[in-house]
Each structure stands twice: as C-alpha cells, then as structure tokens.
Structure 1
Amino acid sequence: MHLFYTPDIKSTIYQLNEEESKHCIRVLRLKVGDKVNLIDGKGGFYLAEIISDHPKRTELHIVEAQQEYAKRNHYLHIAVAPTKNIDRFEWFLEKATEIGIDEITPIICDRSERKEVKTDRSNKIITTAIKQSLKAYHPLLNPQQSFREFISKAKADVKYIAHCEENQKSAIKEGFKKQLNYLVLIGPEGDFSTTEIELALQSGFVPITLGESRLRTETAALEACFEINYLNRC
C-alpha cells in the first residue's frame, strides 16, 4: 500500500507537492491508473487514482473517502522533557505515534540538560511514523515550554505526574477510568525537582509509578503511552 500525507485536501482532485510527486513517479514508478492511499492527519483516509503522472506535479482523483478512520476512544497528551541525546527523544516521538498519541509538549525543567527541540525535524519524524503505521491522525507537537508555564495552564480530565521520589504513588491502572482526556508529565534524566513535583500536585496532578525499574525518560514516556492505550482497549 502506497501512502501519502496530504494535509491540505479540499476537493476530489489533489496535486502532490514536488517531493511527493517525485517519490510517487520516479521512486515507486507508479503511473496513470494506479491507486494510492492518502491521509490528511485529521482523520481522513482516502483512496485515489493517479490521473496525471508528471514527476513534479502528480494529480490524483479521490474515489473514496473515510472520515474518523481508526479513531481512538480517548485523548492522550504527554508532556516530556527532551533528552540530552536528541535521538532518544526522536525515538519516543516515532514509537508513541505508532502506538497512539494525540499531543506532545516538550517541557524544559529545572534539571533539563537539553533546552531546545527542532520542531520541523520532529514533525517530519512524526509524519513518517503515521505513514508507516497507517494512522489518519497526525499528533500535535507543541512548541517547547517551561515546566512552570505549562503547569499554569495544563488541562485534562485526568492529570498524572511520573517521578522517582519516595512519595506515595499509584499505578495508572488503579482507579483508571476509560475514554477520557489524559495528560502525563515525564521529567528529565535527573527527574523533576522537589519544587516541580509540589507544584504539579498543587495543580491537581496524580503521582504515579511506572513500575519497579528506573526508566530512562523516553522509555518512561513510552510506557505511559502504552499503558493508557492498553487500558482503554481492555
């Protein structure tokens, strides 16, 4: 199945951009009459036929459209501190997209070693992941924010903070309610500071544990992503 990300579909005739046209015609060697699939990142999944195989402006005719394709029954937002090694953060973006996530916010914390994320590059990784995993929804990647800025306006039905301090914490599955809007905070390699944890608790975040092992930032974020998706499927 040949799949293209086409976020600006507005009619039954669509022209691929130059890069996608070249990939379609020169690399995949598709031609007039061949069928391809399109996703718009907003839940639309389309079957289209090539009507012009120009390598710079390939034209398609949309012959079938499905809306809310494979829509999940919940909304998941993970706010995570970018890792010092950016490859690990990008690995999280890819795998979380494949599993299922709606929104990601890079947060800069007291102990963060990385202070910047390249949004354009990160979005390309997410786009590649939705195409690979046949997702019709493109996760929203927000600009990086300071922890305190983020906490001051964070909203969700259920808000979790995963941290390593020896305070009372519960597993996500304890008292879990399905089909809600969830927000999870994941800290940097050195964990959230005590002040940050207190601020989160004061803002209504529930402290959670992700198991007995001490997890890397990107692993903890992916574990939370997996658990919430799994519990909503049970």
Structure 2
Amino acid sequence: MQSLGPLRPRFTELLQRPWLAKPFHLRAFSSTPTSDYTSQSRGGVPRFFSETLPSSKGGVISVQGDEFWHMTKVLRLKANDRIELFNGKGGLVGGCIQNVDRNAIDFVALEDPKLVSPPSPEWHVFAAFGTLKGGRADWLVEKCTELGASSVTPLLTERSGIISDNRVERLQRVILAASKQCQRLHEMKLNHPMKIDNLVPLVAKSKLSFIAIAEATPLLGALTSTRKEPCGLIIVGPEGDFTEKEVNMVMEAGATAVGLGPHRLRVETATIAILATLMLWSDSQQVTNP
C-alpha cells in the first residue's frame, strides 16, 4: 500500500503575499557547499520565511503577514531581537528586527546572505493519501517534510479519490510550518495530483524506484543489491491497495517491489517507514562512498 511526482506550492502563496515583481538574483549570495547544510540549518535564533532577502549586509526588508504575526503576537519579539530569514531555496541570512510597526517589521541583515546547496540524494514520494481523514494526510506531509523528501505527489488510483483545493492549501501550510520547525532551508514541493498513467513514464526514466507491495522482498534485502543513485521514487498505494493492473503497469516500467514487514500498514505509516529507511540508507552510502 504505497506510492511518488511535481505540484509545486510557493511559500508565498501560503502567506497570501504578492509574487515578486523582479526575478530572484543569486549572485549576491555567498556559496555554501552541500556539506555545510547541516550547520547552516541549526541556528540558535528564531527562523522565519521570506521570499525576498536583503542582498547584502546592512540591507533592510519589510516582513508582513503570517510571519509578522508569529514574530510579534506569538513569540512577542521586539526591536533589536536577533532572527534569521530563509527563502525556501537555500537562501539564509542572520539579522535583527530594526523596527516594529502595526502591520510589519523591518529586518536588517547583520551579514551577507548565504546560499546553501540542496542536500543529496533526492527522494520523491508518490502516495495515494487523498481519502485519508482525521489529520492523517497532514501528518504524512509533515513527516515527509521533516525527513527530507524532495517532493510529495498525491497519487490518484482506482481506489483513491481526488484531493480538494482547500485541502491542498492546508497541506501547503503544513509544509511551511514543518520546514520552519525542522529548520529546513529548501522547500518540499507539493505536486499536483497525478494518475498512475502519468506516473509510469517517470518510473521508466528513473534509475531507482520502489513500490510498496505486501509480501514482496523486504526493503532492506532489496537495498543490499541496489546501487546508490542521486535520486529516486517512492510509490505507496491507497488503503485498499493498488489493483493488479496498476502494480503491473508500475513494475513493467521498472519499479522494484519491496515489503515493509508482516503487518498491514496504513498509507501514512508505510510512506514514512520506507522514506525514513531510504534516507538513512542514503546517508550511510554517502559516508562509505564519499
């Protein structure tokens, strides 16, 4: 019961702020290698999202909307308090609150912004969670964000329904909150819902794809004979499982069927189990094969 692809929410949409009028220029940022990602994502001061960042030390920008509310009404931050801003694309800058107005704060950069490369490898999750109720879909997306999935795609199958627009908006907010909580610097993309027919070509192009199937070869066993790849797909079916036709389509395209133990798992449990295992496996591969 398990499944991976690209609906790409913008963090700006979550905060209901206008799109940038000008393109985002990276040349003002100092470049930070991927190996520094961990140290850059563990600051000791509160971190907030802003699509725009100051271009250099001493630069000032205004922060409004939900982030302003969080700073001033929830955390009760005031002038001269230290904070960090990130833009969801690896940009990070430390500074302080220069001024607090009724609807915005002025942030002044105390250093040049840094550009942190995204972590590698990249795992893309395709899961049929459209029919999950009681906050279970929120939990799935939240944990995928925390564990480091590159994207999550709602998978549409014969046994799973569509996802409403208002639910997608809620999931986007969950991603933003989880990104801030775990101090993730790169946004996890929430892709548009995808049908199995459209997933098949992605599996065919991917060098590494896993589909969770009951009674298949255990995941750890499959990994012992698998060569490391820089990216891959995780495919998790609905609560009623994939149909035989769907399984055959995905496996004929090149996916490897893997099992997750003797028990029947919920969609969100299976998704997190396979993602956590593959993230740890990827980390160990990077250590042994730098």
TM-score (norm. length: structure 2): 0.74
Q: Provide the rounded CA distance (Å) in 2 between the counterparts of 1:34 and 1:204.
A: 53
Matched, 1:63 2:110: yes
CA gap 1:15/1:157 in 2 versus in 1, 3 angstroms: farther
* Between structures 1 and 2, the one with greater strand share: 1
Partner of 1:6: 50
Retained in 1: the 8 A contact 2:130–2:162? no
Q: Does the 8 Å contact 1:178/1:231 carry over to 2?
A: no
What is the aligned counterpart of 1:103 among 136, 151, 156? Answer: 151
Query: Following superposition of structure 1 onto structure 2, how do residues 204-223 of structure 1 map, counting pairs within 5 Å?
Result: 204-223=254-273
CA-CA distance at 1:170 after TM superposition: 4.6
In the alignment, does 2:120 pair up with 1:73? yes
Q: Give the structure 2 partner of residue 30 of structure 1.
A: 77
Q: Does 1:126 align with 2:175?
A: yes
Which residue in 1 is equivalent to 2:187? 138
Aligned equivalents of 2:168, 2:53: Cα separation in 1 = 23
Structure 1, 128-137 or 26-35: larger mean CA deviation: 26-35
Query: Which residue does 2:197 correspond to in 1?
Result: 148
* In structure 1, distance between residues paired with 2:230 and 2:71: 39
For each residue in 1:8-30, what CA deviation from the matched residue of structure 2 results, as whole angstroms up to 9, or x when unmatched?
33633221123322332233222
RMSD of the TM alignment (CA)?
1.9
The residue that corresponds to 2:22 in the other structure is: none
1:75-90 to 2 correspondence within 5 Å?
75-86=122-133, 87-90=135-138
Q: Of the candidates 177, 196, 217, which is equivalent to residue 246 of structure 2? A: 196
Question: Is the Cα contact below 8 Å between 1:5 and 1:40 reproduced in 2?
Answer: yes
Q: Deviations over 1:88-133 (max 9, x none)?
A: 1110111111111111100111111x32142211110011001111
Among 123, 139, 145, which residue is 1:91 paired with?
139
Code of the residue aligned with 2:108 in structure 1: it is: H
Structure having greater relative contact order (Cα 8 Å, sep ≥ 6): 2
CA distance in 2 between counterparts of 1:106 and 1:46 reads: 33
Q: Using the TM superposition, give the Cα deviation of residue 159 of structure 1 relative to its aligned residue in structure 2, in angstroms.
A: 1.0
> Which piece of structure 1 moves more, 130-139 or 17-26?
17-26
Q: Offset at 1:192? A: 0.7
Distance in 2 separating the partners of 1:45 and 1:179: 28
Code of the residue aligned with 2:67 in structure 1: it is E
Q: TM-score, normalised by structure 1?
A: 0.90
Asked if the contact 1:45/1:67 (under 8 Å) is kept, the reply is: yes
Specify every segment of 5 or more residues in structure 2 that has no aligned partner in the other structure, as ranges.
1-44, 285-290
| Cα distance change of structure 1 residues 55 and 229 upon mapping to structure 2, 3 Å threshold | farther
Q: Is the 8 A contact 2:207 2:229 kept in 1?
A: no
Unpaired runs of 5+ residues, structure 1, are none
Q: Distance in 1 between matches of 2:283 and 2:199?
A: 29
Structure 1 SS opposite 2:110? strand
Dislocated runs of 4+, deviation >4 Å: none
Q: Distance between the aligned counterparts of 1:43 and 1:225, measured in 2?
A: 22
Aligned residue pairs total 230
